[in-house]
Amino acid sequence: MLDISTFIPALGTPQDSAECSSLLDTLGADEPSIATYPDGTFHNYYRQGISLFYTDNLDRIDFYNPSPSGRRRKPSPWSQPPELILNFPSTSLPLPPPPARDPKLPPPTTQAEIPTSMTRPATLTIRKETTAKDLVECFGEPAKKGGTTAWIDTYIEWEVDVLDPDGKESKLGVMVELREGPGEGIELWDRAKNWEWACLKVFKV
């Protein structure tokens, strides 16, 4: 297993920093395949299923969940990464307030107590079969989300409070691209809750 929080010290540091070197040692990384684009450079570690994205510093770490190969799928260059874990500082997750009641509707006959929080596990383990629904149950409603376009897959994004192995609390940006399921584009978000993750990106916020 990989505790994602152990990689937080490397985020925002130069490629030749001690923190980045420690991260690569933790991964047991070999020589990367480097791809350079106008906005930055990817160091792809296919065997570990991980990519590091640099501008001047390490901006982001991407973990890949390769699709199963088959008759209609090309084999993925990415290996499956180890299971990923995140530890939370609290097992209680605040819920957003309910939408305002339509004043045109008659008042309710009984006043039900509206919950303001929900429980969640202290630790999330992200496996290859983890779905959007599993993530929402631990992270809460996404801060951002978007549907499939020509440039990006359907994604959901959060700012997540996590604990590092020493018990220190940090905030981490988490963006998850989802693997499209059958009937994509039709009732998108109702269907997307059952889609598995395809790429999980972590970054500083």
pLDDT in tens, 139-160: 998 999 887 665 667 899 999 9
Give the pLDDT score at 164.
Answer: 85
How is residue 128 written in tokens?
A: 């290859």
> pLDDT over 70 for what percent of the chain?
84
CA–CA gap between residue 94 and residue 162 (Å, rounded) = 15
In this predicted structure, the answer to whether residue 81 has a pLDDT above a threshold of 50 is yes
So what's the pLDDT on residue 112? Answer: 65
Distant-in-sequence contacts of 130-133, Cβ < 8 A, 24+ apart = 130/196, 130/197, 131/193, 131/194, 131/195, 131/196, 131/197, 132/156, 132/176, 132/178, 132/192, 132/193, 132/194, 132/195, 132/197, 133/193, 133/194
pLDDT, tens digit, 9 for 90 and up, residues 33-70:
999 999 999 999 999 999 999 999 999 999 999 987 54
b/e per residue, 182-191, with b = 16+ CB within 10 A? Answer: eebeeeeeeb
pLDDT at residue 109 greater than cutoff 80: no
pLDDT, residue 71, reads 46
CB count in 10 Å sphere of residue 173: 16
Is residue 91 within 8 A of residue 118, CB to CB? The reply is no
Q: Classify burial at 143, counting beta carbons within 10 Å of its beta carbon; exposed 0-12, middle 13-18, buried 19 or more.
A: middle
Q: Read off the DSSP letter of residue 70.
A: B
CA end-to-end span of the chain, whole Å? Answer: 24
Structure tokens at 67: 């699709």
Place of tokens 């269907």: 191
The model's pTM? 0.84
Residue of 35, 60, 62, 40 whose CA lies nearest to 51? 62
- Sort 135 into a burial class: Cβ within 10 Å, 0-12 / 13-18 / 19+: buried
Q: In the chain, pLDDT over 90 holds for what percent of residues? A: 54
Q: Are 81 and 48 in contact (CB under 8 A)?
A: yes
Give the confidence band of 186 by pLDDT, cuts at 50, 70, 90. low
Is pLDDT at 182 greater than 60 in this prediction? no
Fill in the amino acid letter for 143: A
The structural domains of the chain, with segments of one domain joined by +, span 2-93+117-204
**Is the distance from CB of 11 to CB of 168 less than 8 angstroms?**
no
